[in-house]
Homo-oligomer: A and B are copies of this chain.
């Protein structure tokens, strides 16, 4: 979330009334995140979230995303529920953008996750995978190996400003990943971006999951790899055995992993690191100074990729056993 499109209280109030809520007594910009513009709408009853979908979201994908939220919330998953307007639509135009009004979720994101949070997130990810299994719509993942290549190309040689030679290194790395990428692992709807800022806790209890705008059909264990990278490294980019153990134990409690999925984890984690490196690199090299958003550091994901790659390189001499 961020604010790219300005909306004042009067405009928010008019828009919200179309969705059966209001009057809106306050419309406050939410600065966290990097994708869309979000406002917290205060009304006499419950608060709501107003989201204006910015340019990285394809309007044609909105029915998939918002339908998924309806599907999951009907199954008891604590995710935002999109309201419908008088025309029965979850999306309408506001300030030149597609926009939606969503229920507000209680709780707070944790910036320093511990094993309790990791266990809860792992479990919730498996619940998402299970409950979305019969969601009838589908959407190919734009951020799979082919998509990573597109984003990396769009950044030109910007990576060289971060570290000399990094552009060539990441291009070679991407091609190696694309060649080895698994084709036979269980697939389904993934969240694709389940970072700590997209999960809310009320004390120990996981109270909300937000930001489904990277959801797509892909390898389920790839979603787990995204979470390992996002939740299980410490400030010094060391993988923590306690957090990864908790995350995987929580996940397996709901959906036991197949041996092939576990076997693929180092490769999937390396790919997940690439996926966030390429979009962070693009944002870092393209974010205008006027936006109320701080680009995230691409190098964090370069370092995570190196760790997973080191482990994988070790594997080459380890595979045959006697």
Residues of A at under 8 Å CB distance from B? 108, 110-117, 119, 228, 234-236, 238-242, 244-246, 248-249, 252, 256-257, 259, 262-266, 269, 307-308, 310-311, 313-315, 317-322
CB neighbours (8 Å) of A311 from chain B are: 234, 238-241
Closest B-chain residue to A249, C-beta based?
B252
**Nearest residue in B to A248 (C-beta to C-beta)?**
B245
Shortest CB distance A230–B (Å): 14
The distance in angstroms between the C-alpha atoms of A146 and B315, with both chains bound, is 37
Complex interface: chain B residues within 8 A of A256 (CB) = 249
- Complex Cα distance, B281 from A306, in Å, reads 32
- Cα separation A252 to B263 with both chains bound (whole Å): 18
B residues less than 8 Å from A310 (CB atoms): 236, 238
Number of copies of this protein chain within its complex = 2
Besides A115-B263, A242-B263, A245-B257, 13 new A-B residue pairs in contact (Cβ under 8 A), listed by A number: A114-B318, A114-B319, A119-B262, A234-B318, A239-B241, A241-B244, A241-B266, A241-B269, A241-B311, A242-B266, A244-B244, A245-B248, A252-B252
Closest to A269 in B: B241
Contact call A321/B262, Cβ cutoff below 8 A: no
Residue from the list B110, B116, B252 in contact with A322, Cβ < 8 A: B110
Contact status B112-A320, CB under 8 Å: yes
Shortest CB-to-CB span from A186 to chain B, Å, is 16
> In the assembly, what is the distance between CA of A322 and CA of B234, in Å?
15
Q: Are A244 and B245 in contact (CB under 8 A)?
A: yes
List 20 contacting pairs A-B, 8 Å CB cutoff, sorted by A: A112-B318, A112-B322, A114-B319, A116-B259, A117-B321, A119-B262, A234-B314, A234-B315, A235-B314, A239-B241, A240-B311, A240-B315, A241-B244, A241-B265, A241-B266, A242-B263, A242-B266, A244-B244, A245-B262, A252-B252
- Closest A-B pairs by Cβ, 9 of them: A234-B314, A112-B321, A236-B314, A242-B265, A238-B311, A110-B321, A115-B263, A246-B262, A245-B262
Question: Which residues of B are found within 8 Å of A110, using beta-carbon distances?
Answer: 321-322
Contacts of A119 in B (CB 8 A): 259, 262
Select A321's contact among B114, B236, B252, B313, beta carbons within 8 Å: B114
A264 to B234 alpha-carbon distance, docked (Å): 15
Nearest Cβ distance between residue A236 and chain B, in whole angstroms?
A: 4
A259, chain B: closest CB distance, angstroms? 6
**Is the beta-carbon distance between A262 and B242 smaller than 8 angstroms?**
yes
A235 / chain B contacts, CB cutoff of 8 Å: 314, 317-318
Contact B228 A241 (CB under 8 A): yes
- Please name all residues of chain B whose beta carbon is closer than 8 Å to the beta carbon of A113 when the two chains form the complex: 321
Distance A264 CA – B239 CA, assembled complex (angstroms):
15
A319 to chain B, nearest CB (A): 7
Question: Is there contact, CB below 8 Å, between A249 and B248?
Answer: yes
Q: How near does chain B come to A182, taking the closest CB pair, in angstroms?
A: 13
Q: Which residues of chain B have C-beta atoms less than 8 A from A116's C-beta? A: 259
Q: How far is the CA of A287 from the CA of B256 in the complex (A)?
A: 46
Residues of the B chain whose Cβ atoms lie less than 8 Å from the Cβ of A239:
239, 241, 311
